[in-house]
Structure formats: C-alpha cells, structure tokens
Amino acid sequence: MLSCCCTRWMNLLIKLSGLLLLSMLTHGFAIAEQVSNTTTPLPVLGWVENVRIEPWGVKTRARLDTGAKTASISAHDIELFKKNGAQWVRFIFDFSTAGKERSIQIERPVIRIGKIKQHNGPLQERPVIHMDICLADEVRTVEFNLIDRRALNYPVLLGRRVLAMRALVDSSRTSLSKADCGHKKKKKKKGVNENTPLDAGTVE
C-alpha cells in the first residue's frame, strides 16, 4: 500500500516537473521571439565612411577606428573665448569639395578640456565639444576633441564611444553607406563667385 502511494506521488511529481519545464521553455521562446522582433540590426560600415558636418551639410571623409576610444575632428586656429559667461571655442575646419580646398569657421560651447594620451607621447589638453554629424543616413550628436589633423589622411576620426551599439565595422571595406540625411546637391547659380562664404545650407 505504501509502495503504491509513493509510486503515485512520484508520477505526479514527474508530471508537474514536465509541465513546469514546458512552461519555462515556452516562456523563454516567447521572450526570445519578442527580442528578435524588436531588435533592429546594426548597420555595417567600412573603416572609412563619408560623413556630413551639420548644420552646414559639409561632406567629408571619416576614419572609423575601433582601436580609438574617443572621436576627434580637425581644427586649427583654435581660439577660446567667453560668450554669455560660458566658455566657447572658435576654430577653422578644412575640407575638400569638387577637388577644391575650402574652409569653414565653427563656433561651439566647450564641454570641458580633455586630456588625451597619444601613442608614445605626453598627455595633450584639448577642447571638447558636441557636434552633429550625419553618419549612415542618421544625424548623431558626437563628442569631439579638437586637434589639427591636416597632416593625416582623414579630418574626422570616430572611436568606440561613437560606434558602440550603433554600428558594426568591416575593416576590409570602405564607403558602405551614404551620408545624405535629406541633403540634396545644390545647382550652381550663374554669376556666383567661387569664393562666396559658406552659409548653413548644403555643401558638396
């Protein structure tokens, strides 16, 4: 009698364990399916991509470097000044368009003065700013430190902080995306001087 009772209890426990396991598996599959349905795949970018400096729409080349932590943008004639009691910076950004070298003056509030360690070099103090750029057809606010990159191949460098959870980098390819973000190429007007100053519109 005791043996029969134990057998029934064992069978009941086995059935309950099976139901519990089935419920856990079903719930797990439901969560996995929900995550897969809501997660947007990250875009794949090359190690060099076109970007636009906003709001001017200045198109330039950027190096995507997962070995670097921060982002930097080329700047020269850097001048710190006060504006409405806050620290600002004024600098010149050079770029090439239609085979011609051009420049634009940019003014931005300073977030902080960052200390950047270069390879085999001392710590450098650089102004750090926020800039909007168009990357992979999406406008992103990026934290840049300012450094003269005119001797380097690419005026913009994007490191891990910018790329993390935003893009995957294929180090064997370049120019996998466009940097349009709604910009359209302007037609050159007759009588417009080539040295006309840049406005806040699109520059190709």
- What phi and psi, each to the nearest 5 degrees, are found at residue 151? -85, -5
**Res 198: pLDDT:** 43
What is the distance between the alpha carbons of residues 107 and 92, in angstroms, rounded to a whole number?
A: 9
CATH number of the domain where residue 124 is located: 2.40.70.10
- pLDDT lower than 50: segments of the chain: 2, 25, 28-38, 189-204
Is 98 a member of any domain?
Answer: yes
Q: Name the one residue in this structure whose structure tokens are 């080539």.
A: 194
111 and 131 both lie in a single domain? yes
- Among 202, 73, 51, 50, CA closest to 134: 51
Q: Is the CB of residue 145 less than 8 Å from the CB of residue 128? A: yes
83 and 131 both lie in a single domain? yes
Question: Can you give the residue range of the structural domain that contains 117?
Answer: 44-170
**Res 185: pLDDT:** 64
Is 133 a member of any domain?
Answer: yes
59 and 121 both lie in a single domain? yes
DSSP code for 166? T
What is the distance between the alpha carbons of residues 142 and 129, in angstroms, rounded to a whole number?
A: 8
Is 67 a member of any domain?
Answer: yes
Is 179 a member of any domain?
Answer: no
69 and 12 both lie in a single domain? no
67 and 134 both lie in a single domain? yes
104 and 162 both lie in a single domain? yes
- Among 57, 53, 87, 78, CA closest to 158: 53
Q: Is the CB of residue 185 less than 8 Å from the CB of residue 52? A: no
131 and 156 both lie in a single domain? yes
Is 185 a member of any domain?
Answer: no
Q: Is the CB of residue 81 less than 8 Å from the CB of residue 88? A: yes
**Res 161: pLDDT:** 93
Is 195 a member of any domain?
Answer: no
31 and 59 both lie in a single domain? no
Enumerate the H helices of the chain as residue ranges: 2-38, 160-163
Q: Say what the pTM is.
A: 0.71
